[in-house]
Structure 1
Amino acid sequence: MLTQPYYFYAERTDRTKNMARFYALSIEPTLFGTPCLTRTWGRIGARGQSKIHVFAREEEAVSLFLELLRQKSSRGYRPKGHSR
């Protein structure tokens, strides 16, 4: 069972390169209660692509969540307000 919700949404835009991308991360329980990290990315306004990682323990999911958050922040993605 997850101790708290995890959600991150960021965007990276650059008009000179015609770049408008988003990246979203969330950790939620599966139907069986195991933690699941879902990554979604793509062009802003499009549905994008998704990848799901299932873990045995919440700590493993949080570790990958934080690593991906660091990577995307270093590449220029900035958090934006986004309603789920």
Structure 2
Amino acid sequence: MYLRRIEHTANLYRYYRLQIVRGLFDDWGLIREWGRIGSTGRMRTDWFDSEDDAKDARFELHMQKAKRGYE
């Protein structure tokens, strides 16, 4: 899932990427990457016991970002 927030008047060009991956030990990871469009961003991985937990966390983050203007 790739989200963007662009506000030309505020010189704001941001992105937020969410990806669910399977781990080596039957766990699931939610990879988050964020930063300014066109630059290398920051990355964080949170691990979960099940795919459903990872999907729930992704949905919560998606809703938080939508409230802040990400599309």
What range is the shorter-chain TM-score in? over 0.9
Q: Deviations over 1:38-77 (max 9, x none)?
A: 0000000011001100111111111110000011111111
Aligned residues: 71
1:27: how far off?
0.3
**Do the aligned partners of 2:26 and 2:49 also contact (CA within 8 Å) in 1?**
no
Give 1:63's match in structure 2, choosing from 53, 56, 62: 56
* Unpaired segments ≥5 residues, structure 2: none
Larger deviation: 30-39 or 42-51?
30-39
CA distance in 1, matches of 2:24, 2:15: 27
Runs of at least 4 residues of structure 1 off by over 4 A?
A: none
Give 1:31's match in structure 2, choosing from 13, 24, 32: 24
CA distance in 1, matches of 2:33, 2:56: 17
RMSD of aligned Cα (Å): 0.9
**Do the aligned partners of 2:30 and 2:54 also contact (CA within 8 Å) in 1?**
yes
CA distance in 1, matches of 2:65, 2:9: 20
Q: TM-score, normalised by structure 1?
A: 0.80
CA distance in 2, matches of 1:39, 1:24: 6
